[in-house]
Structure 1
C-alpha cells in the first residue's frame, strides 16, 4: 500500500512516499481504507521520537482517520464490513490502509463527510474532557483559552460557549482572533501585542479567570497562572509553543487554585463509557450545527509532510487534513 513513511526520526522533510505492507488485523481490530487523516500536534512529535508512544521504524504518522471498514475482526460487534468509520490509531493514518482497535473506532453518523469525521475526535474529545471532567466548568464562569485559533483551542472556545461560559480567546494575530470571534468567543486577547496578565486583569476587573485552557505552554504558562481567579483551574493540555514550563508553586497556593493535567488519551482508555458519552454529546452538537471544525487546508497524501510542517510553524488556523485518494 502507498504511505508517507518515517524511515528515520527527524523533521517532516525526512518523510518519504513509499510502499508498506497492508496491516494484518487482530480479532479486536478493524482494517480501514483511509479517506482522510487529521493532522495533530502529536504527529510533529512522533516523527522526532519525542512522543510518549514510540512506534518501530518504519511507520506512517497520522493518528486520526476516517474511511471504510474493509475487514472486521470476529470480536468486533459495533462495526461491520462496509461501514463508514472514524478512529484514533496513534499512527499509521498517512497511508491507504490502517488498523484500528475496535474501542477507538466508531461508525460515522449519517450526513457527516469524511473530512469532518477525520477532524473531530482528537480536538473536540480533548476539549470536552478538559472542560467537563477536569475543570468542571460551570455556567457563567469566565474561561480563557490560549492558542485559541488551533484545533484544540477553537474546539474549547465553542464547547465553552455551549457550557455557558464567558469565553475569552487568546492568539497571536488579528486574523486568528477573527476566526475565534466567528467561533463564538466573547472577547479576545492578542498576546503578540498585549500583555497577557495585565489584559486578563483588566478584562475581569482584577478578579481573574475561573478556568484557563492552555494547549500552548512555554512563555505563556506563568502569566496565565497569575491570571487565575480564587479557586481557579489551570488546564495543562499541551506544549505547542515549546517545552513544558516551570511554574512557581506559590502561585496556586496564594490563589487556592488547581493545576490540572489533561491527558485525554488515557481517559479514553481508562474510562471508555464516559468518553463515549462525551462523544455522543459532541456528535449531537455537530449535527445541530452548534460546533464546527474550521478546516485550514486539505493536502494530498504526497504533501503530508508539508501539512505537518505547517502545523509546526503555527500557520494552521483550526485543523488541517490529509486526503488519501
Structure 2
C-alpha cells in the first residue's frame, strides 16, 4: 500500500510502498477514508513535536474510515463500523493500525472528510475553553489565528458557550470565515492594532492563542484583570516572551494546553468532551469547515497549505 512517510528530520516526507499492517492485541486495522492534517504534522516531520515517534514514520495524526479487522483478543467496533480515531501517526496511508479503545463510532450522516478533522480541532477548543479556561457566558473571548484549523472551532464553540467572541485573522477572506462561525467582532491582524482594537471593545477575559510570537504579547496587553491566556501552539514559529511582572500586575494567568496529553492523565475529561461535541454535531449546532480535500498524492501540497497559512478550517487528505 502507499503511505506518506518520513525517514529523516532534515529530508522531506514522500510517498512509498509499504506492507499492509496487521493489528496486534488491543488494536484494529482501519481502511482509511480521510486523514485530517494538523500543524503538528509539520513539527513531527521536522522532529520538533513534543511527542516524537521513532523513524521512519507515516505522518497523519487523526483519521476516519471503516474497521477492516480486529487484532487477537480485541473487543472493539466490529468490522464494517465507521469510526474516527486519534492515532498520533499513521493516517496518511490506505490502511492503518490504531488502538481500538480510542475509536469513536461516527454519527449517521457524518462524512469521513468532516470526521477526520473533527477530533483534534474541536476537541482542543472545547476542552481548553470549558475545562482549562472555564469560559463563562457573558465573558469576552479573543481568538488569535481565528480562521485556522483550531481557531475557527474556538470561535464556534466560544459562541455556543455564550461568550462575546473577538476574532483576529489575516485579511478579509479569513475574517469572513470567522464571522460565519459566529464571531461578534473582527480584527485584521495584517492591518489593525490588535491591542487597541481589543481594548476598545472592553478587553479580553480569555485569550485562545495558537499563534504565539508578537500576537501573544499584544493580546496580553489587551487582557482584563484576572484574564486567562491559553497557549495552544506556535503557528507563527516564534515562542512568545512572557514577562512575569506583567502577569503579576494584571493578575493574568497563562496556561499551556495540549489536547493529546489528556489521554495520559485525564482521559475521562477528553472522552466526555468528545461525547458533547458529537452530540452537538448530531443536533446541527456545529458544522466543521473543510477548505481543502486532496488525494494522497497531494499530501505535501496539503502540508504546504498549513505551512504558508493559506487554508481556512481543515485540510483533509483522502487516501
Q: TM-score range by the shorter chain?
A: over 0.9
Residues 85-123 of structure 1, C-alpha deviations (whole Å, 9 max, x = no match): 110111111101111112321111111111111010000
The residue that corresponds to 2:87 in the other structure is 89
The residue that corresponds to 2:217 in the other structure is 222
For 1:1-325, what aligned pairs fall within 5 Å after superposition?
A: 1-10=1-10, 14-204=12-202, 208-324=203-319
Name the stretch that deviates more: 75-84 or 181-190: 75-84
Q: Distance in 2 between matches of 1:10 and 1:169?
A: 35
> How far apart are 1:75 and its partner, in Å?
4.9
TM-score by length of 2: 0.97
Residues 24-82 of structure 1, C-alpha deviations (whole Å, 9 max, x = no match): 32211111111100010110111111112222222221011011111123454341121
Q: Distance in 2 between matches of 1:78 and 1:162?
A: 32
Q: 1:126 to 1:232 in 2, by over 3 A?
A: same
Name the stretch that deviates more: 146-155 or 248-257: 248-257
Count matched residues.
Answer: 319
Q: Distance in 2 between matches of 1:53 and 1:168?
A: 32
Q: Distance in 1 between matches of 2:75 and 2:138?
A: 41
The unaligned stretches of length 5 or more in structure 2 are: none
The unaligned stretches of length 5 or more in structure 1 are: none
Q: Secondary structure at 1:151's aligned position in 2?
A: coil
Residues 186-234 of structure 1, C-alpha deviations (whole Å, 9 max, x = no match): 1111111011111111111xxx211000000011111111111111000
Q: Distance in 2 between matches of 1:5 and 1:294?
A: 27
Q: Secondary structure at 1:55's aligned position in 2?
A: coil
> How far apart are 1:266 and its partner, in Å?
0.8
> How far apart are 1:10 and its partner, in Å?
3.6
Q: Distance in 2 between matches of 1:220 and 1:76?
A: 47
